Amino acid sequence: MTPAELASVVLAAAHAVFEQRGLDRAALPASTVVERPRNPEHGDYASTLALQLSKKVGVPPRELAAALADELGRASGVKSVEIAGPGFLNIRLDAAAAGQLARVIVEAGAEYGRSDRLAGEKINLEFVSANPTGPVHIGGVRWAAVGDALSRLLRATGADVGTEYYFNDAGSQIDRFARSLLAAAKGEPAPEDGYGGAYIAEIATEVQARRPEVRTLDDDAAQEVFRVEGVALMFDEIRSSLRDFGVEFDTYFNEKDLHDRGELDLALNRLRQQGHLYESEGATWLRTTDFGDDKDRVLRKSNGEWTYFAADCAYYLDKRERGFERVVIMLGADHHGYIGRMKAMAACFGDDPERNLEILIGQLVNLLRDGAPMRMSKRAGTVITLEDLVEAIGVDASRYALARYSSDSPIDIDIELWTRATRDNPVYYVQYVAARTAGVARNAAEVGLVPGDGDAFRPELLDHEKENELLKALAEFPAVVATAAELREPHRVARYLEESVAASYHRFYDNCRVLPLGDEEVTDLHRARLWLNNATRTVIANGLHLLGVSAPERM
């Protein structure tokens, strides 16, 4: 019995009690939830339904709980119900009902854990969006791992998600990039405000190979060639690096297109219609202070140039015009001050900034070698890049390490820890269960132990304490996925896989032998435990997939 099925049983019992007592059934919720009690000695699941309904119907909570307990006690699959405290219901399932979950999971396969909790929501999720002036640095890599995992979670809970990379190919940073390439081509040092690192010389060489005529052009014309070709090469490299990291975007959006299509003027006109623009000292301002910003923002300078914030406004409007009801943007720690102006901007467009716009801030990441932070990249020269991280610990460990922590917490990634083939390495600890469950299934087949069809499955035999503990851990998965999606916290999945599933499986494996020994006859208990083993493999694989991490069959 899954938690959702048990919740339905509890609600059915409430309907029966209300009918028996002539209570107003309009007070009953459309659905309810059951949770695992903190102390496993209190039962398999707990419900607060009696406490929720007591005031509404004027019945003391313990009296209502007693009636519910009596009705629930007659339900199929419920072993016992106890009343605790002011009216909590502590519920124990019989072994057959609890064990049946293994069959549910195996037969659901990749669908187990998915739901329609966020069905109907259309979400635009923008993450990474590194400027095409250098390789993706380690802060951007964090958003690549977390953002991709979040997109998987949102889709797994029914949301319509469009992932997006904002390609900043306009503005002064691109000019500095082009000047740096030109200087490298001429054998000169980088400009004072330019970019350094071996990658600049590499790109400059590649541009000259593609466009040999650039050597004959004057500096202004040559700089334009280096800008166009250099940005294209850098962006191709960024896309390739992210693809190798397992991250693909539905849309790669060019900032330059906003300018070329006149979308900044469109946004300006929309804001003017809303009555939030004014002119001062020859510049055009957006009165964001009306909506809590610390100061008004310039959209167009007195010399006619657009500001970066004007492009932000146009880009937000473009997303909303494409039908996205919720715009989610992931930004680095240095963008914390960005939240107020963006929320105010959404309000200026007439949107609800709490409903239509979410801004998530990620904290810093340090890569540690021998206990000390690495500061210099072999190629980028100034920052640690995606390639540096992957070279150090691999793609799976990188993605898991970055998604394992709350994004608002700084991370130290210790190279020695994350490359260690021991149980103190979190990704190894979880992937080892994936490999062990696959190995058990292979070994079972070799000795003629197969799970058989669902009708042959004897769930009531799974009555060992460690079997029950593992079943309860597996039952939590759909709720973990839904909560992680709603709270935008993929780390909840990683911690659940480690602390709940992997830990419980290891205890199950140590106490409950799945395979027959020697010439021992294969029994229904062996088969039942194989179902539970395979159900664990399913949950581990599904959870790792949501994090973009592989579930190996061998290690």
Question: What percent of the chain lies above the pLDDT cut of 90?
Answer: 70
Q: What is the pLDDT of residue 381?
A: 66
Confidence of residue 138 (pLDDT cuts 50, 70, 90): confident
* Alpha-carbon separation of residue 157 from 261, 291, 484 (angstroms): 35, 33, 10
pLDDT > 90? residue 54:
no
The predicted model gives 440-454 an average pLDDT of 90
For residue 547, what are its two tokens? 């994090």
Q: What is the pLDDT of residue 378?
A: 60
Q: What is the pLDDT of residue 26?
A: 85
Place of tokens 């900032």: 255
Q: What is the pLDDT of residue 379?
A: 61
Q: What is the dihedral of CA 100, 102, 104, 107, to 10 degrees?
A: -140
Q: Which candidate, 105, 77, 6, places its Cα nearest to that of 470?
A: 105
Q: Which of 4-18, 71-85, 320-334 has the highest mean pLDDT?
A: 320-334
Q: Which candidate, 447, 452, 451, places its Cα nearest to that of 518?
A: 447
Q: How far apart are CA 320 and CA 123, in angstroms?
A: 10
Name the E strands within 61-202: 78-84, 88-93, 122-126, 160-167
pLDDT > 80? residue 40:
no
The predicted model gives 292-302 an average pLDDT of 95
Could you tell me which residue, 344 or 20, shows the higher pLDDT? 344
Q: How far apart are CA 81 and CA 78, in angstroms?
A: 8
Q: How far apart are CA 127 and CA 490, in angstroms?
A: 14
Range in 104-108, 177-181, 377-381 the model is least confident about: 377-381
Q: What is the pLDDT of residue 22?
A: 87
The predicted model gives 454-476 an average pLDDT of 91
Q: How far apart are CA 93 and CA 334, in angstroms?
A: 51
Q: Which candidate, 142, 189, 128, 169, places its Cα nearest to that of 384?
A: 142
pLDDT > 90? residue 23:
no
Asked if 477 and 505 count as a contact pair (C-beta separation under 8 A), the reply is no
Asked if 6 and 81 count as a contact pair (C-beta separation under 8 A), the reply is no
- Tell whether the torsion through CA atoms of 460, 465, 469 and 474 is positive or negative: negative
Asked if 121 and 325 count as a contact pair (C-beta separation under 8 A), the reply is yes
Q: Which candidate, 39, 34, 51, 43, places its Cα nearest to that of 91?
A: 43
Pairing of strands 283-286, 297-300: antiparallel
Asked if 520 and 405 count as a contact pair (C-beta separation under 8 A), the reply is no
Which residues make Cβ contacts (< 8 Å) with residue 72, sequence separation at least 6? 9, 10, 13, 78, 81, 89, 91
Q: How far apart are CA 350 and CA 205, in angstroms?
A: 49
Q: What is the pLDDT of residue 272?
A: 96
Q: How far apart are CA 101 and CA 277, in angstroms?
A: 59
The predicted model gives 50-79 an average pLDDT of 89
For residue 329, what are its two tokens? 């943007």
The predicted model gives 531-545 an average pLDDT of 98
For residue 204, give the amino acid letter.
Answer: A
Phi, psi of 319 (to 5 degrees): -65, -45
Asked if 533 and 471 count as a contact pair (C-beta separation under 8 A), the reply is no
pLDDT > 90? residue 502:
yes
pLDDT > 80? residue 179:
yes
The model's pTM: 0.88
Counting runs of H as helices and runs of E as strands, what totals does the chain give?
22, 14
pLDDT in tens, 376-398: 666 666 678 899 899 999 999 99
pLDDT > 80? residue 257:
yes
Q: How far apart are CA 256 and CA 404, in angstroms?
A: 35
The predicted model gives 215-220 an average pLDDT of 92
pLDDT > 90? residue 355:
yes
The predicted model gives 18-23 an average pLDDT of 87
CA atoms within 13 A on the CB side of 51: 12
Q: Which H or E run contains 428?
A: helix 426-446
pLDDT > 70? residue 420:
yes
Q: How far apart are CA 385 and CA 370, in angstroms?
A: 18
The predicted model gives 132-159 an average pLDDT of 92
pLDDT > 80? residue 107:
yes
Please state at what angle helix 386-393 crosses helix 395-403, rounded to 10 degrees.
110
